[in-house]
C-alpha cells in the first residue's frame, strides 16, 4: 500500500526517517507504474536516441548506488563499480545495447538490493549527518541531504519519462 503521508520511521532518527518515508513513497509509486510491464515493453525504444523503461529503472538503482558511495563512503566509484553500473548510469548507446532482455523482476530486484543497503546505512546516521557538507571538485558545496533529495528527484523525473514511453507503447500497439 502506498503511504500518502511523510512520517517518522521506526529505527531512524526523525529527519532521516522522514527522508526514508519519502524514498518509500517514490519507490512504491515507481513500482506500481511498471509492475505489469512485459519484457518487450521494458525494452521498447521510442526512437534511436531514447532510453528504455528497463534502462531507466536500472539507472535509478545506479544513481542511488553512486549516492551511497559519495555520501556514506566519501569517495567516487572504482573502475570495477563503474564497469558494473556505467551503462545504466550514463544511459545512451551503451545502455540501449546492454540493458535489455530482462524481466521486470530483474529490475525490481536491482532496485530492492540497492535500497536495502541504503536503509541499512541510513539506520547508522543521525539527523546532523544530513547537513554535513562537502565540496565537488569545482568547489561547489553540497550536503548529504541534497544528495538524497537528488536521488528522489532523479527517480521522480525518470518515472515521468516512463509514463510517456508507456503512452507511446499503447498508441503504437
Closest of 36, 37, 18, 29 to residue 60, by C-alpha: 29
What is the maximum alpha-carbon separation in the chain? 51
Confidence (pTM): 0.94
Q: Cα–Cα distance between 149 and 132 in angstroms, integer?
A: 14
| pLDDT the model gives residue 46 | 87
Rounded mean pLDDT of the chain? 95
Q: How far is CA 108 from CA 50, 59, 95, in A?
A: 21, 12, 17
Domains of the chain: residue spans and CATH? 14-172 (1.20.120.450)
Q: Report the chain's C-alpha Rg in angstroms.
A: 17
* 163 band by pLDDT with thresholds 50, 70 and 90: very high
Residue 173 predicted with pLDDT over 80: no
Residue % of the chain over a pLDDT of 70: 98
The pLDDT tens digits of the residues spanning 17-75 come to 999 999 999 999 999 999 999 999 999 998 889 999 999 999 999 999 999 999 999 99
Amino acid at each position: 500500500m502506498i503511504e500518502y503521508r511523510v512520517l517518522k520511521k521506526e529505527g531512524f532518527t526523525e529527519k532521516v526517517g522522514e527522508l526514508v518515508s519519502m524514498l518509500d513513497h517514490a519507490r512504491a509509486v515507481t513500482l506500481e507504474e511498471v509492475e505489469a510491464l512485459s519484457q518487450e515493453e521494458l525494452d521498447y525504444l521510442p526512437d534511436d536516441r531514447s532510453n528504455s523503461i528497463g534502462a531507466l529503472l536500472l539507472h535509478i538503482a545506479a544513481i542511488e548506488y553512486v549516492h551511497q558511495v559519495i555520501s556514506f563512503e566519501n569517495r567516487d566509484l572504482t573502475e570495477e563499480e563503474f564497469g558494473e553500473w556505467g551503462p545504466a548510469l550514463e544511459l545512451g548507446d551503451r545502455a540501449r545495447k546492454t540493458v535489455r532482455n530482462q524481466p521486470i523482476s530483474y529490475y525490481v530486484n536491482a532496485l530492492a538490493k540497492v535500497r536495502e543497503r541504503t536503509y541499512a546505512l541510513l539506520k547508522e546516521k543521525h539527523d546532523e549527518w544530513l547537513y554535513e557538507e562537502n565540496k565537488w571538485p569545482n568547489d561547489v558545496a553540497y550536503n548529504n541531504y541534497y544528495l538524497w533529495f537528488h536521488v528522489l528527484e532523479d527517480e521522480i523525473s525518470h518515472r515521468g519519462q516512463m509514463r510517456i514511453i508507456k503512452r507511446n507503447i499503447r498508441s503504437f500497439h
